[in-house]
Structure formats: C-alpha cells, structure tokens
Structure 1
C-alpha cells in the first residue's frame, strides 16, 4: 500500500487523509472516520460515497494530488443514503452536473438522510462506548449536522456492471439500510463494502470487521444475512465505509463480522 497524504496541516483525529492506490486505480479519502473512494480510469473518475459537507475541499485537493480534474468526475455512487455518505452529493450536482446513483430502496433516504430506520437509539452509545466520542466529534466538525439531501438521483440496479470509470459491479447487501449496495471491482478482486461490513464501528469506536451497531442499522438480522453475498464475491481486498482496508480476504472479514454479531 502506498503512503497516506495528509491534506490539511491540522493535527487532530479525523484530519482528511488521502491514500493513493490502495489497489491500482482506487484511492481512499478518509475524513472524520469516514471513507470515500476515487476510482480512476485514465482522466475520468468515479466517486464512491460522499462523506460530509466539509469534505468538498479535501476532495478537490485529493483530485489535484492525483492529477484528476473535478470536471472529469463522471458520477457519484452512494452505497446507501445515510447522512455520512451523502455529504457533498447535492453540491456536486449543483456545481458540476454530476449524476448521483443510489438504489431505489434508498432513494427517499438520500433525499432525507437523517430519516432512517434504526434498531436502537444512538444517544446512549457514547455512554456505553466512550471510544465513540472521537468519531462523533470529528463528524460534527465535518458538518454531520447540516447535510443536505440529494433528490436528483439515478437508480442503481440490484446487480450488474455500471458504465462508469472503474467498472464497478453492484452487489445488493441490504440490512444496514434497505437499499444498501456494495461495489465489486472484479478485475482487482476488491469489494467496496460501504457499511455492510466496516472495520471501525463509529457508534462503538471498536475496530475489527463487523456490521454497524443497531444505532444506525435498520435490520441487523438482514445485515448478517447479506454477509453471504459479500463472501460470494471472493474478493481479496475489502474497502469499508469506516475503518482501515481489510487485506485478508472477504471470507475472513465475514467470519469476524458473524462472530461479533449484532449490537
């Protein structure tokens, strides 16, 4: 893996950080404990997930660092419609005319990213898990409380290749939200898992492959069942929506998530 590049002089947890070529042509932008991925194909590129409103500046700087131009952004694919994945989408539509893609079952959520079904109230989690304070504070600083929804979207299919740079293949993984999708880069044996599996649960501050706590998951039983679809990809690398890349294959990530279970 290549070196990470800090995109701001600030020295605090949650600082935007770019890791070029996590796998060839896939660049990770981490901001406030949340990941976006830039899929480059020549001069053109796709953005997977859109983090927070304050991610706009780091995204521009990341594109410049990678010799990509914002005008060559061909589309934004949202793995799901939660506020921490929708952040810059509406601005990209307005300023760049970029199409945004989300599964039909998350279309309303993308437009109203705070109105999501969850199994438990999120407010008790910082009391139960003190390590959740750092992610929560970083997300607030990144604009988590003022995310605008995006209504001008195109619907993702439940499966199949997308005609976008990187040639991502949709893998339907409902449970975290009812329209959650991962993206498989088959030629690079890499799965962008969104929040179907993470390696950091921001609601608990706990690292390791797992599904997200019921504070943000609509149906944990369905999320655990969707691990079968993740395992079936046979991907060698898993790139989550939160946390570090998992390089030991999706089968071991799935085994870990099943062992952790629901919370």
Structure 2
C-alpha cells in the first residue's frame, strides 16, 4: 500500500517515506523521495539536535538532506537551519519575501516575546522561491499572512501539503 509507514525514515513514520519529528513549539517533517531527502521546517535553534538524532537513528546525517524547506521566517521554524547549514552544509530554501529576514538582513515579524526567548541566528538561503516554482517534488504556494513570505509546500503526486503556521488550530 502506498501510504504504509516506512521505518527507514527518521521520526515517527506517518506514511511511506514521510516522518514527523515532534517539536514542543513547531514540528518538522522529513520526506524521502527516491534518493532525495527533504526537511520541512528546521525548528528553533535547539531543535537541530533532535533532528540530527532522528536522522542518525536510520543511518542518515543532515548532509544527506537535499534541502531544508522553510515555511516562514519565525525562529521556531527556521532557527535550526543555521546549525544544520554550518555543521553539515545543508542547503536552505524559503519564499523570496522572507529571504532577507531569514538571512538577518530584513525586518522580523515574530512577536516580541518570541524574539526574547527564542534565538534566531541568520542563515544563508540557497534558493529563494516564488509562487508556483518547484523544488524537488514540491510546488511552492505563497500563502502570505502569518509572515510576508509564508509558503506551503505541496506534493501533488502524494497529495501532501505542508503549511507551517499558515493553518493553525484554534488557540495555536
């Protein structure tokens, strides 16, 4: 069955090739697509270690990632990307409208209390996406509102949509 969980991906298996790495503030997902591996959201800076551990649990390292895809500029979704890039050379992609903020060159839109408690080291962006562009199996869908560059990543073949904080549950 196509949607059967696969134990060869890090984190909690959700479907074939898809794993969920639970975060106390934001979640990260890892998708294996053929020989490529994608991380959707890198969590806050301290979340990089659990991501590295989850990858290691199945014999992978962040060096195996094709890209870390960031849904937006807030530190609970992009903060870990700087460590992954620094330590393993992980490539980073985001929407062009959040690129300057992610690289530490533009205004930050996170609430003040978030900026006070969660560090957001800047990270170099390797690929700035626009609405409708593809990266690997994903199509970038610009969904501004939460941040100017909020982006959802849609996998048309598998019908997966990763929305970051563009879609939130009541109270969260």
* Residue 49 (structure 2) aligns with: 57
Where does structure 1 differ by over 6 angstroms across 4 or more consecutive aligned residues? none
- Taking the aligned partners of 2:86 and 2:77, their CA distance within structure 1 comes to 17
Aligned positions, number: 165
* Cα 1:105/1:71, change in 2 over 3 Å: same
Q: Which structure features the higher share of helix residues?
A: 1
Match of 1:169 among 130, 139, 148: 139
Q: Is it true that 1:148 corresponds to 2:121 in the alignment?
A: yes
State the TM-score, normalizing by the size of structure 1. Answer: 0.55
Do 1:184 and 1:192's aligned partners in 2 also have CA atoms closer than 8 Å?
yes
Q: Is it true that 1:195 corresponds to 2:165 in the alignment?
A: yes
> How far did 1:122 drift?
6.2
* Cα 1:196/1:87, change in 2 over 3 Å: same
Do 1:78 and 1:102's aligned partners in 2 also have CA atoms closer than 8 Å?
yes
Q: Is it true that 1:19 corresponds to 2:15 in the alignment?
A: no
**SS of equivalent residue, structure 1 residue 31:** coil
State the TM-score, normalizing by the size of structure 2. Answer: 0.81
- Taking the aligned partners of 1:182 and 1:176, their CA distance within structure 2 comes to 12
Give the structure with higher Rg (CA).
1
Structure 1 unaligned blocks of 5 or more:
3-16, 124-135, 208-263
- Taking the aligned partners of 1:158 and 1:32, their CA distance within structure 2 comes to 29
Cα deviation per residue 1:94-151 (whole Å; 9 max; x = unaligned)? 2222221111110122123994347xx666xxxxxxxxxxxx8xxx9xxx52220113
Give the root-mean-square deviation of aligned CA atoms.
2.8
Cα deviation per residue 1:152-203 (whole Å; 9 max; x = unaligned)? 432112113213xxx111111111111111011111111101111023x6xx
- Taking the aligned partners of 1:60 and 1:193, their CA distance within structure 2 comes to 22
